[in-house]
Amino acid sequence: MPVKLALKQSSPNLEIVHDDEGKQWEVCFKQIADLIKLQLKFEAGVEFDEKLPFSASNKSVGVVDGEDLKITSKTPKGELVRTFTVKEEGKELEIVRILVVSCNSPF
C-alpha cells in the first residue's frame, strides 16, 4: 500500500517535445521523483517498441490528430489509446483501454 499512497500524493510531470516538422516526438512521463519514468521517442506514423518501466514492451504508433497527439498501443489485454492535448490551462492526458474479450460458445 505505500506505493499507492505515494502515487496519490505525487504530481506527475509530463514533457512533450517534437521537431519543427512534427515528425520526431519525445514524450516523457515522470512520477514520484523519477522513480516511475516512461520515455518514448518515435517518428509519427511509424510503429515502435514502447518499453515500459517494469520490463514489458508494447507495439505502439503515435499520430498527430489536429492539435492532439494520439499513441495507440497493442497490449496483452487489448488496445490502449492515449491522447495528449496541450491547452492554455496545461496538459491533458486521456487514456482509453479497449479490451479484447473472447469466449467459446456452442451455437
The backbone torsions φ and ψ at residue 63, rounded to the nearest 5 degrees and listed phi first, read -135, 150
In a domain, 104, yes or no: no
| Edge-to-edge order in the sheet of strand 68-75 | 48-51, 57-65, 68-75, 78-87, 90-99
In a domain, 26, yes or no: yes
In a domain, 66, yes or no: yes
Query: Which residues constitute the domain of residue 56?
Result: 2-99
In a domain, 105, yes or no: no
Asked if residue 67 lies in contact with residue 85, where contact means CB atoms within 8 angstroms, the answer is yes
Look at the chain and report how many structural domains it folds into. 1
75: domain CATH number is 2.40.128.20
In a domain, 81, yes or no: yes
In a domain, 67, yes or no: yes
In a domain, 77, yes or no: yes
What confidence tens digit (pLDDT) does each residue in 55-103 have? 678 899 999 988 888 999 988 888 888 888 877 776 667 777 666 555 5
pTM: 0.72
> Cα separation of 81 and 73, whole Å?
6
What confidence tens digit (pLDDT) does each residue in 5-57 have? 655 666 777 888 888 888 899 988 877 665 677 888 999 999 999 887 666 78
> How distant is the alpha carbon of residue 35 from its chain centre?
17
